[in-house]
Amino acid sequence: MYQVRCILVSMLLFLGFYFCTCIDTITLTRPVKDGDILVSNGETFALGFFSPPNSTNRYVGIWYNKISEQTVVWVANRDHPITNSSGILSVDQTGNLILHEKDQSFLFWSTNVSGVANGVSTAQLLDSGNLALFQGLVNKEVYSWQSFDHPSNTYLPGMKLGLDRKTGLNKVVTSWKSSQNPGVGDYSYKMEFVGSAQLFLFKGMARIWRAGSWTGLGWSGVPGMTKDNISNGTYIDNEDEVTIVYLMHNPAMLSRFVLTEFGTLERLTWEEVSRKWIGFWYHPKDQCDGYNHCGPFGFCDPYASLTFECDCLPGYEPRSPQDWYIRDGSKGCKRKVGTQMCKFGDGFIELARVKVPDTSTAHVNMSLGLKACAEFCLRNCTCMGYASADISKGADDGGCITWHGEMIDTRTFSDGGQFFYIRVDAAELGTPLMLFSNLIFNIYYMIYVAYQIFFT
Ligand SMILES: *[C@@H]1O[C@H](CO)[C@@H](O)[C@H](O)[C@H]1NC(C)=O
Ligand SMILES: *[C@@H]1O[C@H](CO)[C@@H](O)[C@H](O)[C@H]1NC(C)=O
Ligand SMILES: *[C@@H]1O[C@H](CO)[C@@H](O)[C@H](O)[C@H]1NC(C)=O
Ligand SMILES: *[C@@H]1O[C@H](CO)[C@@H](O)[C@H](O)[C@H]1NC(C)=O
Ligand SMILES: *[C@@H]1O[C@H](CO)[C@@H](O)[C@H](O)[C@H]1NC(C)=O
Ligand SMILES: *[C@@H]1O[C@H](CO)[C@@H](O)[C@H](O)[C@H]1NC(C)=O
Ligand SMILES: *[C@@H]1O[C@H](CO)[C@@H](O)[C@H](O)[C@H]1NC(C)=O
């Protein structure tokens, strides 16, 4: 009965094009030829050869089995297309999955893992959309390779992005070259590990958007994540890995992140009623999402002013007033002239709904509460600001993140974000005694400047 239904479903979908095998494994004796389709156990995903729109090249890919609009989530031979229909995906004598042409030895693609025992490997298309290569029989815990470790342009539920500390593999999402060409494109979405771990969108080597660091509730640059009621994201940081994974509350709901050829990270769910992918989230979204848009010590606030989104953090002023005047904030800000940092009377000014600065120059201590964090920051002259490291917890056990060096890529949101405390001197805080001392300093400074002008 199952078999009959399975064949019917597949015949309806692929009528006239393919003969469905309705099997989910590849073994030494059972390869997948161009035209064959593997269907996962729960019939959610299919694997086979496909051609992108307007292309005659053949690629091995995985797509959703049940939906009418072919949506490819993974491609094996991204940069090595096969030009005719003689491709075969099989398990070889070394236990690897290989893609070659009939009677030809050239490899278009291979899993290329070593140390697989005596060639008894089985590849299985799982219902999560993961293609796993097991040693020996299927359903063992041990896999020697899985497609989830080598993403294409799509990030699926259950897939881990980030670093496997044991193998050193950093799992990265990369865009297609174009809708006709699934080859590795310009854009990548990837985790970086300087300071505390952060996710970035890259164009080539250049950072173009920072999803940011994990705040306990989500990524600092993605305020919408905290309102996500269809899935949950979990950040894992232990001796084995630093990764992010998400799962759908309703596993039957089809949902994906895709990094488009134009460099937009989109999140979509399939709506059966309209038979369409509905996008409900994307980044970069506005000018303030542009990485380092307002330069060092600047911050980007799209709601504050109709004329210019850039501003300086409290205690700072534009480094280049001329550029600032023509609405170019890229040179950023510097300490206001005459400020006396790291003297008695330093304090903090609080900003709300903030995407905290790039944490490459930050230091995290999870055993300090927010108050101890402020004290720690005051005691250390290189500390420029602080925030809670985990806003899902209370002020006493949320940890402490401090910045030591240039603070870049700070922005505000209309909703979401967190509190951020910027270190300023007494004058900026407006303490009366300190205002007086600052006045003395300013007079001294003016005399100094006058001296410089007239006598040197
Ligand atoms: C395929 O080519 C046609 C005609 O050139 C064009 O209208 C269509 O947009 C192309 N489709 C894709 C997905 O590029
Ligand atoms: C497919 O193309 C290859 C060269 O890329 C050629 O050697 C082979 O004969 C072709 N197969 C068929 C069935 O046309
Ligand atoms: C296979 O892996 C080895 C070592 O990891 C590497 O040197 C080689 O280039 C790889 N081959 C292919 C076809 O990717
Ligand atoms: C999630 O929240 C939105 C807006 O509050 C609501 O429209 C939607 O029905 C909710 N979805 C689920 C699955 O609860
Ligand atoms: C996330 O949601 C999935 C599915 O509802 C559930 O099995 C899992 O335990 C949840 N994880 C966390 C950390 O809440
Ligand atoms: C964190 O702060 C505690 C208490 O001040 C201190 O003992 C510990 O060494 C700090 N840890 C790091 C990694 O700085
Ligand atoms: C200040 O903090 C930085 C970064 O954590 C650290 O390298 C430096 O030693 C600290 N300096 C003092 C005086 O504690």
Structural domain contains residue 56 = yes
* pLDDT computed for residue 304 by the predictor: 79
Q: Which amino acid does the sequence have at 145? A: W
Phi/psi at 415 (nearest 5 deg)?
-155, 140
What are the angstrom distances between the C-alpha of 195 and each of 234, 404, 431? 20, 10, 34
pLDDT tens digits, one per residue of 423-445: 999 988 886 544 454 455 455 54
For residue 399, the SS3 value is: coil
Contacts 24+ apart (CB under 8 A), 249-255: 251/157, 254/44, 254/64, 254/67, 255/157, 255/230, 255/231
Indicate whether 122 and 161 sit together in one domain. no
* pLDDT computed for residue 116 by the predictor: 60
pLDDT tens digits, one per residue of 186-240: 999 999 999 889 999 999 999 999 999 999 999 999 987 777 889 999 999 999 9
* pLDDT computed for residue 138 by the predictor: 58
Question: Does residue 20 carry a pLDDT above 50?
Answer: no
Indicate whether 1 and 89 sit together in one domain. yes
Structural domain contains residue 123 = yes
Pair 124, 25: CB distance under 8 Å: yes
Determine the Cα angle at 293 with ends 291 and 295, to 5°: 105
pLDDT tens digits, one per residue of 283-308: 999 999 999 999 999 999 998 777 89
Strand partners, 72: 63
pLDDT tens digits, one per residue of 112-157: 987 665 657 899 999 999 999 988 765 566 888 999 999 999 999 9
* pLDDT computed for residue 139 by the predictor: 58
Q: Which residue, chain included where needed, has tokens 């990548």?
A: 188
Helix (H) or strand (E) holding 374: helix 370-379
Which residues lie below 8 Å from residue 100, measured CB to CB, with a gap of 6+?
Answer: 87, 88, 90, 106, 107, 108
* pLDDT computed for residue 117 by the predictor: 59
338: left (phi over 0), alpha (psi -120 to 50) or beta: left
Indicate whether 264 and 345 sit together in one domain. no
Indicate whether 27 and 134 sit together in one domain. yes
Instruction: Tell me how far the alpha carbon of residue 54 lies from the centroid of ligand 1, in angstroms.
Output: 6
More confident residue, 11 or 362: 362
Q: Which amino acid does the sequence have at 151? A: P
CATH number at residue 9: 2.90.10.10
pLDDT tens digits, one per residue of 402-415: 999 999 999 999 98
Q: Provide the token pair at 53.
A: 């729109």
Indicate whether 268 and 406 sit together in one domain. no
Indicate whether 171 and 108 sit together in one domain. no
* 386/424 Cα distance (integer angstroms): 12
Indicate whether 94 and 135 sit together in one domain. yes
pLDDT tens digits, one per residue of 341-385: 888 889 999 999 999 999 999 999 999 999 999 999 999 999 999
Indicate whether 274 and 345 sit together in one domain. no
Indicate whether 90 and 183 sit together in one domain. no
**CA nearest ligand 3 atom 9, residue:** 112
* 120/431 Cα distance (integer angstroms): 76
Structural domain contains residue 368 = yes
Structural domain contains residue 213 = yes
* 302/23 Cα distance (integer angstroms): 53
The model carries a pTM of: 0.87
Structural domain contains residue 339 = yes
Indicate whether 377 and 277 sit together in one domain. no
Structural domain contains residue 452 = no
**Among residues 150, 173, 190, which one ends one of the domains?**
150
**CA nearest ligand 4 atom 13, residue:** 230
Residue 14 belongs to what domain range?
Answer: 1-150
Pair 122, 112: CB distance under 8 Å: no
pLDDT tens digits, one per residue of 45-99: 999 999 999 999 999 999 999 998 899 999 999 999 999 999 999 998 888 999 9
Indicate whether 124 and 163 sit together in one domain. no
Q: Identify which of 128, 228, 232 to mutate to test ligand 5's pocket (most ligand atoms within 8 A of the CB).
A: 232
* pLDDT computed for residue 434 by the predictor: 47
**CA nearest ligand 1 atom 10, residue:** 54
Asked if residue 230 has its Cβ within 6 Å of ligand 5, the reply is no
Question: Does residue 7 carry a pLDDT above 50?
Answer: no
**Among residues 130, 150, 170, which one ends one of the domains?**
150
Q: Provide the token pair at 385.
A: 């600001």
Asked if residue 404 has its Cβ within 6 Å of ligand 7, the reply is yes
Indicate whether 5 and 136 sit together in one domain. yes
Per-residue DSSP letter, 119: G
Structural domain contains residue 30 = yes
Structural domain contains residue 398 = yes
Q: Which ligand is nearest to the CA of 94?
A: 3
Rg, Å, the chain Cα set: 27
Q: Identify which of 80, 84, 99 to mutate to test ligand 2's pocket (most ligand atoms within 8 A of the CB).
A: 84
Number of domains in the chain: 3
**Among residues 124, 150, 176, which one ends one of the domains?**
150
